[in-house]
Amino acid sequence: MTALAGGLPRMMRPAPHQNYPRGGYSLEVSTPLGQGRVNQLGGVFINGRPLPNHIRHKIVEMAHHGIRPCVISRQLRVSHGCVSKILCRYQETGSIRPGAIGGSKPKQTASPEVDKRIEEYKRENPGMFSWEIRDKLLKDGICDRNNVPSVSAISRIMRSKFGGVGEEEEEEDEVVRRTIEENEPRTKHSIDGILGDRSSHSDEGSDVDSEPGLPLKRKQRRSRTTFTAEQLEELER
């Protein structure tokens, strides 16, 4: 490789008028719902608008069958962050509906009866996680999908009752993942195929309005170890 005096090596200099390809997808597209954009996976999204409910339904359905979020993201051409956020919200609230746009979300509070039952569950089984208590409230019929407290609300109750023992479980890594996928062949899903089904329905009734109601297997997490002040002093010696 030769270098010119006072300049860059010849192989490092760009050729004049050289055009570099930008990609195979256009930046903006027109959709019936407005001006859309194309993400890095080739999927179309409308900035500022939530994903349609039928796509959210499909994300939860695929996760219920053990398909990992990264695979769901590639097959549906939806960003991995969006898939993780929808699954986390579904695990916490049991709903696939998007949150309110604008403003701050008020803290969810439990009734005194539910508060007392949470305290009983925790005293009977001190190693119980917040999401396990939430599932037990639903299983025992104390709450339903509409009024069951979120994982965060249960964690706050346990911290106030038991002095900070509650587990915070709002991270994206709480999304359910199976370590071993089933060997049976998976049905290939695509946004084009999903959106194609909407042509036979009217605009008002085209989207899924019901909740999936599918249980998602959670990743097992080790209980957090706590120490007293005396134990900490001994450990620091």
The 10s digit of each residue's pLDDT in 103-116 is 455 555 667 888 88
Per-residue confidence (pLDDT) for residue 138, from 0 to 100: 86
Do residues 122 and 157 lie in contact, with contact meaning Cβ atoms separated by under 8 Å?
no
Per-residue confidence (pLDDT) for residue 22, from 0 to 100: 47
Per-residue confidence (pLDDT) for residue 63, from 0 to 100: 85
Query: Once rounded to an integer, what is the mean pLDDT over residues 6-15?
Result: 47
Q: Where are the domains of the chain?
A: 28-101+173-200
> Distance (Å, rounded) from C-alpha 38 to C-alpha 138?
40
Q: Is residue 30 classed as helix, strand or coil in its secondary structure?
A: strand
Give per-residue pLDDT as tens, 134-188. 888 888 888 887 778 888 888 888 888 776 544 444 443 343 333 323 433 444 4
User: pLDDT: is 213 or 28 the higher one?
Assistant: 213
Per-residue confidence (pLDDT) for residue 32, from 0 to 100: 53
Query: Once rounded to an integer, what is the mean pLDDT over residues 194-217?
Result: 50
> Is the pLDDT reported for residue 47 higher than 60?
yes
Strand ordering across the sheet containing 44-45: 28-31, 34-38, 44-45
CATH of domain 28-101+173-200: 1.10.10.10
User: pLDDT: is 222 or 101 the higher one?
Assistant: 222
> Is the pLDDT reported for residue 82 higher than 60?
yes
Q: Which residues contact 41 (CB under 8 A, 6 or more apart)?
A: 73, 74, 77, 78, 79
Per-residue confidence (pLDDT) for residue 198, from 0 to 100: 43
